[in-house]
Structure 1
Amino acid sequence: MPPKVDQAAILILDIGRNVSTSDEKGKKSFFEEAKECVARVIERKIMSQDKNLLGVMLLGSKKTQNNMAEQCDGAFRHIEFLAELQAPTWKMIRDFPEKPTKSRGDWMDALVVAADHFKNGLSQVKVNSKKILLMTNFMCPTCLDENDIEKILNGFTEEEFELDVIGPDIYDESLKSEDIQLARKFVETTNGETATFEYAMQSCLLFHKKRTVNPTPWNVDLSIGPNIKIPVSSYIRLRDEPAVKTWLKAVKDPVTLTASSTEGIMSHKMHINTENQEVVEPDSVIKGYHYGQQIIPFAECDKSLLYEPGEKSLSLYGFTDASNINWQCLSGDGLAYIFGRKGDNKAKLAIRCLIECLHEMSLVGIVRRVYNKGNAPKMFAILPVIDTNNYVCLSMIPLCYKEEIKYMAFPPTNLKRYACSKEQVDGFKELIKAMDLMKAYDDTYEGTEAFPIAETVSPSVQYVLDCIAFRALNPGKPLPEPRDDILTLFKIPPLVQKRSKEPIEKLKNLFTLTKVEAKTRDRKRTQQQVDADMNDQNLEIKPDNQSNDGDMPTIQLPVTKKSNTITKIGTIDPVNDYKLLISNGTPLIDLIPEMAKVIENIVDCSFDGTYTKALEAMKHLRQECVKADPAPYNNWLQKFKKELTDRQKDDVLSLINDRQLNFILKAENSSSTHENVDSTQSQLYENDTVPDATELTMDTEINDLFDEM
């Protein structure tokens, strides 16, 4: 079965002597405008990534290379195929002639050659639409008589060829050439189109367009309760997609600076054990999932534990008031429309009834969708869409889950100081009315609406595609800036800007705004503050009386005076700080938790593994608590040891036991509850394993049940 192609087109570009000169001074010639237009057409065809075929024919070429010239000697001259029907490539643009020739060709002969190529060059391809784009100024008249022209026109009609003429305005009454009238007849008979270069470049070829594809429906039954199932079809209305979905890596040819046709990149996937750098066979690999910082292995036998969403379905869970669905609740990357199944009139009638009921009662449906088996279920809101001109359907938009919604608290604005006067409110109403985008252009534009939905292109996507096209044709040059057509999308429409000028000036007078100046750092004031801080800390400059080398400057560093004003225990010398605070009259009950915290900080920040300073401070604290109250030390040590055990600090625990820094025993202080080490360890074990609140949280009946068992 031959392959099918939606469209095949042949571009006929006139490069003869008749298009070499410009009609007006300072303007481009017909050849230059036609060359830019053809390049733009090929570029758009390539970037749309469609599967249509394209051929380029040169009219008025120095060479004669076509099938009809080989069959008829002396006819169909100066017609050459730059590229026969094939997928569009960048080479077509690179092979364009830079200058027009001095030859001339017959445009009617070019149409016959193009028709012959469609008939004989596509014998193994089935084409739905055959199009010929002719770009000539018709300044070279055809040499064929009326009978031959009539036969050609009948052949075009039978083969269903479409002829489009781009360049001159063939409907201009001032142009009374017979060839232009003949071209007009061909366009009308074949249901073709015509446009000038300016209109084609600004309207049809201004931006890149997506490939036109036939929408594929997602067929499913809309389930309402256990008994009602309505056959429906869902179509994607809008979807956020990247500029280029997939990138193919290729090796760059150093000679042609293009992707090499003989070399490629071959990738090989393997699993390597990071511990011994050995290759692991795929059969020995167990897949896993990240859960925080931990990897959870997931073997084949664990698949039975997975949540199964079920088969493909669309289930209606219920209805809610339309006011409950705000824009904050909606998510996803697109919008879908739901219609009754094609060919099922009962389904269409049921969906229409549901839509009208939702619209009249201001309700929204909540549905659960499973796209197919194995996909996670998602929640959607279905809203009624009633368009009297086009269609009646349901729009389906994804809903956020609770953890996906972020609430932001703003201060109340219904305060007295935020109240606006009637003049201020009216001023904003005038501004909103003046900036109405539905009436953004005057009669000189085709439509009055600015930035219509689903018609406005993305500036970022257009710039990315422009850069790809530029890099394909200019491999060694830097990327250009965005063109003016893209930057225009960021500008305010001229009529809106004109209308809003007066309301904005009025609002400036109604609202007094105070300019907030950003505070800058004053270096002079900062230096003065530093000097004041040094004086407060009793710092002095120690002079250096020693003689140095004459080339070396003398550096004077601030030296801190010794002071007895210490307010807390530090980690540099905790024992001396403790003694100094005790001598100053600080209560022991306040110093014990502070000293304990310092010991914990020293242990946490110690990297040498000796912990000498922490053990000396711990020894001093134990001695002080033996003389006074041992309970604070014992309670702290119990918690401290438990933390060390949980953190696997066995080296610190062994040092504490070696230095005999364990609990204060009853033999050392009668107020202690610890008699020996064994009882202490057993008490610690009991405290760690049996919580005090266990008996309070467990029911007595449960305890009796365990006793009977």
Structure 2
Amino acid sequence: MRPKIDQASIIILDVGKNVAMSEETPGKSFFDEAKACAARVLERKIMSQGKNLVGIVLLGSKKTKNNMAEMSDGTFKYIEMLAELQPPSWKLIRDLPDEPSKKKGDWIDALLVAADHFKNGVSNVRIVDKKIILMTNFKAPTYVEADEINQVLDGFKKEGFEVDVIGPDIYGKSEKYEEENFEIARNFVENTDGATATFENTMRYLLFHKKKSVSAMSWNVDLSIGPNIKIPISSFVRSKDEPPINKWRTAVKDPISTTASSTEGILKQKTYITENQNNVKEEDIIKGYHYGQTIIPDADMNNSSYESGEKCLSIYGFTDKGNVKWENLNGNGISYIFGRKGDNKAQYAVRCLVECLHELNLVGIARRVYNNGNAPKMYVLFPVIDTNDYICLSMIEICYKENIKYMAFPVTNLKKYECTSKQVDAFKNLIKAMDLTNAYDETYDDREAFPIAETVSPSVQYVLDCISFRAMNPDKPLPKPRDDIMMLFKVPPLIEKRSQEPLNVLKDLFILKKVEHKTRDKKVNSTPLIQNNINQTTMDVDSNDQSNDMPKVQLATAKAIEVNNIGTENPIRDFETLLDKNQTIFNLSPQMTKAIERLFYSNFDGNFSKALNTLKYFRNKCVETDPTYYNKWYIQYRSSLTECKNEDIINVITENKLGFILKEENVLSTYETPDSHEDSQLYENDTVPDMTEVAVKSDVCDMFDEM
């Protein structure tokens, strides 16, 4: 079966001597306007990404290059087939000529060349819509006889060709154009169901990019109500938020030839690497949660026994329409539900359901599974009754309970917030003045501003403009949004004029007072302030100096800090302060070790300088007094680090030689209490052998694990 093409268009662009100058627009020729219009048509077809083919024929070209001229010499002169029917591309726009030629061609012959290419130049393709777009000013006369023209016209009608004329007003009366050519052009447009428009109207129509028209695809399923009722329905997407470009083929630019290639690309590969730089397969990965510095695997996440089941649309129940607020709705679009096409009983059942919901002011709550294995979602079904022939259900996704965020607002139904009748009337007048359905005067075709489903998105239009500009100008910076896009952000002049008086009335009726939020005075920082220790005599300046007039600043004196326990801000200072208050190391060691553990835990970036300095200070104090406190704590701390697989902290402590305190280090010990002295003599024999396995380096353990 031959592939189907929605539309194929051949643009006949007149580049002859007759379009070189224009008397209507000084400084801008017919050729310039025709080239800009043809480029805009090609750009629209590229952006729509539809199944279209485009060809270009140059009328009045220097060359004679077409199939008809090759078949019969001396005919169809100065007509060049610049591009045969092909998908629209930026290259077609670049290949358009920069200036007109000094030749003239026959526009009837150009139509025959385009028709011949449709018939003989394209094979193995089934074209639905065949269109020929003619852009000429008809100043060059045609030498085709009237009988031949009638034969050509009959052939066009038989083959289903559509002829569109863009440029001159062929229905207007003007001495600038040949009236005979106008009459022939009108016959082609009318008998082929074509269209005609000036460049101004055409460019206005092509002002914004539009999405390609796509035939609606239905989602067919049975609407289940209870265990026994199943209605065959079809769901169609009514509106949906989509990106401006769904699928865009990227190209890689060759730095040598500065050309883009669509057959080459950047290879992207996703790999999972462990801390030991080992590759892991994706199927071997287990998801988990980060709890502190420990990763807890979630086995239920990967081995879940829950199954959503087959695709379905099941109504769980009905509720009052007022129970469904706008903040409960979710999703990025809306769908319409109709009875299955060809099933009269299903259509009648859906119609009956819609009418019942409308009369009882109810909505349906349904569970939807789009396809087998997909996650289920909850939807609300609203009745839609526009006319007798347009009755259906609208389906919108609804939030789950955990997705709803409740916000508390102050009560407004108080007397001090009560509005007077004048204030209410003032707002009503403002609303009437800002009515968008009556935003323009009679000089505009449509008096409505920003009509629904017709107003384009400014951001999407700017993105598409940037893509088009980058394709044609790869080395230039992106331009600012054009004026046509910025106009979408402006208030219509008529509305701005009408709303000025109601706004002034509102300003007089509602006297707004600026609310000043009182802020609490921040507490004095516990960090001691810098004291002014400079001698007052050094601050004295000669009386003749002009700086004597400067105000004097009195610096606040520092207050002594009360230290009751050891914190993490400055643990060494706190430790020394408490020692000066006759605190013993026996009482201070638990606080000091707890502060050290917090310092290690809070350094996620791997910089343990503050924790190491504190640990070194505490270890030296224990070396001078009693190493037992340090060694007992270190045994427990190292065991906990090993269980949590925090080898980074263990390696840092080992590299800085801050491990166990050996006996030969305690040469300055003056701790001679009998009980503690006994423990001090045993620490070398009791602690080191028990921690032999823990003290093994991590890379050695990894080596045995790999074996």
User: Structure 2 length normalisation: TM-score?
Assistant: 0.77
Task: Please give the per-residue CA displacement for 1:362-385, whole angstroms capped at 9, x wherever unaligned.
Answer: 111111000111100000111111
Deviations 1:86-108 (A, max 9, x none): 11111111111111111111111
> Which residue in 2 is equivalent to 1:329?
328
The residue aligned with 1:191 is: 193
Partner of 2:31: 31
Deviations 1:401-434 (A, max 9, x none): 1121122222222334333322222111111121
Assess if the C-alpha contact under 8 Å between 1:335 and 1:395 holds in 2: yes
Quick check: 1:222–1:231 contact (8 Å CA) kept in 2? yes
Residue aligned with 1:540, SS: coil
Matches within 5 A, 1:232-251: 232-251=233-252
Pick closer, same or farther for the CA change 1:610–1:256 going to 2, 3 Å. Answer: closer
Equivalence map 1:257-268=2 (5 Å)? 257-260=258-261, 264-265=264-265, 267=267
The code of the aligned residue for 2:196 comes to T
C-alpha separation in 1, matches of 2:480 and 2:87: 29
1:86 and 2:86 are equivalent in the alignment: yes
Partner of 2:390: 391
**CA contact under 8 A between 2:563 and 2:574: conserved in structure 1?**
no
Deviation at 1:359, TM superposition (A): 1.5
Decide whether aligned partners of structure 1 residues 647 and 499 sit closer, same or farther in structure 2, where only a CA change above 3 A counts: farther
SS in 2 for 1:7: strand
User: Is 2:598 the partner of 1:604?
Assistant: yes
CA distance in structure 1 between the aligned counterparts of 2:596 and 2:144, rounded to whole angstroms: 103
Compared CA separation, residues 576 and 308, structure 1 to 2 (3 A): closer
Contact 1:287 1:297 in 2 (8 A): no
Equivalent residue for 2:109? 109
Q: 1:483 to 1:537 in 2, by over 3 A?
A: closer
Question: Is residue 540 from structure 1 mapped to residue 533 from structure 2 by the alignment?
Answer: yes
Q: Deviations over 1:444-463 (max 9, x none)?
A: 33333322222221111111
Amino acid at match of 2:398: L
Aligned residue pair count: 615
Shift in Å, 1:36: 0.6
| Cα displacement string for residues 470-515 of structure 1 (whole angstroms, at most 9, x for unaligned residues) | 1111111111111111111111122222221111111122222345
1:320 aligned partner: 319
Query: How far apart are the structure 2 equivalents of 1:65 and 1:413?
Result: 79
Letter in 1 for 2:193: N
Q: Secondary structure at the match of 2:611?
A: coil
In structure 1, the partner of 2:127 is 127
Distance 1:123 1:298 in 2: 58
- Displacement of 1:388: 1.7
- The answer to whether the 8 Å contact 1:540/1:560 transfers is no
How far has the Cα of 1:74 moved from its partner? 1.6
SS at match of 1:380: strand
Q: Quick check: 1:599–1:617 contact (8 Å CA) kept in 2?
A: no
The normalised TM-score by structure 1 is 0.77
In structure 2, what is the equivalent of residue 522 of structure 1? none
Task: Name the residue aligned to 1:351.
Answer: 350
**Could you say if the C-alpha distance between residues 421 and 256 of structure 1 is closer, same or farther in structure 2, counting changes exceeding 3 Å?**
farther
Amino acid across the alignment from 1:46: I
Distance change in 2, residues 1:268/1:136 (3 Å): closer
8 Å CA contact 2:10, 2:57 repeated in 1: yes
Equivalent residue for 2:150?
Answer: 150
CA deviations on 1:258-294 (whole Å, 9 max, x unpaired) are 3126x613637474644554556x5x95143344464
Secondary structure of residue in 2 paired with 1:387: strand
Q: Is 602-611 or 428-437 further displaced after alignment?
A: 602-611
Change (3 A) 1:3 1:565: closer
- Secondary structure, in 3 states, of the residue corresponding to 1:6? strand
Q: Which amino acid aligns with 2:41?
A: V
In the alignment, what sits opposite 2:230? Answer: 229
- Asked if the contact 2:634/2:660 (under 8 Å) is kept, the reply is no
**1:288–1:295 Cα contact (<8 Å) kept:** no
Q: Distance in 2 between matches of 1:102 and 1:346?
A: 70
| Matched AA of 2:230 | K
Show the 5 A alignment for 1:370-381. 370-381=369-380
Answer yes or no: is 1:566 the counterpart of 2:575: no
Cα 1:535–1:566 change in 2 (3 A) is closer
Tell me whether 428-437 or 448-457 shows the greater mean CA deviation: 448-457
Which residue matches 2:444? Answer: 445
Whether the 8 Å contact between 1:336 and 1:395 is mirrored in structure 2 is: yes
2:475 is aligned with 1:482: no
- Note if contact 1:382-1:394 (Cα within 8 Å) is conserved in structure 2: yes
Flag the 1:255–1:600 CA change in 2: closer, same or farther, 3 A: closer
Aligned partner letter, 2:148: D
Work out the CA distance in 1 between the residues paired with 2:558 and 2:447: 82
- 1:181 is matched with which residue? 183
Please give the alpha-carbon distance, in whole angstroms, between the structure 2 residues aligned to 1:82 and 1:318: 64
> What is the CA–CA distance in structure 2 between the aligned matches of 1:196 and 1:492, rounded to whole Å?
29
Residue 211 of structure 1 aligns to a residue in which SS?
A: coil
Residue 134 (structure 1) shift? 0.7
Distance in structure 2 (CA, Å) of the matches to 1:5 and 1:352? 37
Q: Percent identity?
A: 54
Are the structure 2 counterparts of residues 255 and 179 from structure 1 closer, same or farther at C-alpha, using a change threshold of 3 Å? farther
Partner of 1:425: 424
| Aligned residue in 1 for 2:435 | 436
Q: Which moved more, 1:101-110 or 1:388-397?
A: 388-397
Contact 1:602 1:614 in 2 (8 A): no
Distance in 2 (CA, whole Å) between partners of 1:354 and 1:109 is 62
Cα separation, 1, equivalents of 2:594 and 2:303: 48
Q: Is the 8 A contact 1:385 1:395 kept in 2?
A: yes
Q: Distance in 2 between matches of 1:231 and 1:48?
A: 34
| Cα separation, partners in 2 of 1:390 and 1:111, compared to 1, 3 Å | farther
Task: Note if contact 2:530-2:558 (Cα within 8 Å) is conserved in structure 1.
Answer: no
Between 320-329 and 166-175, the greater mean CA deviation after superposition: 166-175
Unaligned runs of 5+ in 1: 520-525, 546-557, 623-638, 660-666, 669-709
1: CA distance, partners of 2:537 / 2:641: 50
SS across alignment from 2:109:
helix
User: Quick one: which amino acid aligns to residue 132 of structure 1?
Assistant: I
- Quote the RMSD (CA, aligned, Å): 4.3
1:642–1:387 CA distance, 2 compared to 1 (3 A): farther
365-374 or 418-427, larger mean C-alpha shift: 418-427
Alignment of 1:616-631 (within 5 A): none
Unaligned runs of 5+ in 2: 539-553, 600-609, 627-632, 645-649, 654-658, 667-673, 676-707
Q: Which moved more, 1:132-141 or 1:413-422?
A: 413-422
1:523 corresponds to which residue? none
Matched with 2:670 is none
| 1:682 match | none
Task: Say if 2:575 and 2:588, in contact at 8 Å, map to a contact too.
Answer: no
CA distance in 1, matches of 2:25, 2:34: 18
Task: Indicate how the Cα distance of structure 1 residues 649 and 73 shifts in structure 2: closer, same or farther if over 3 A, else same.
Answer: closer
Measure the CA separation in 2 of the matches of 1:365 and 1:75. Answer: 72
Could you say if the C-alpha distance between residues 355 and 256 of structure 1 is closer, same or farther in structure 2, counting changes exceeding 3 Å? Answer: farther
Q: Alpha-carbon deviation of 1:70?
A: 1.3
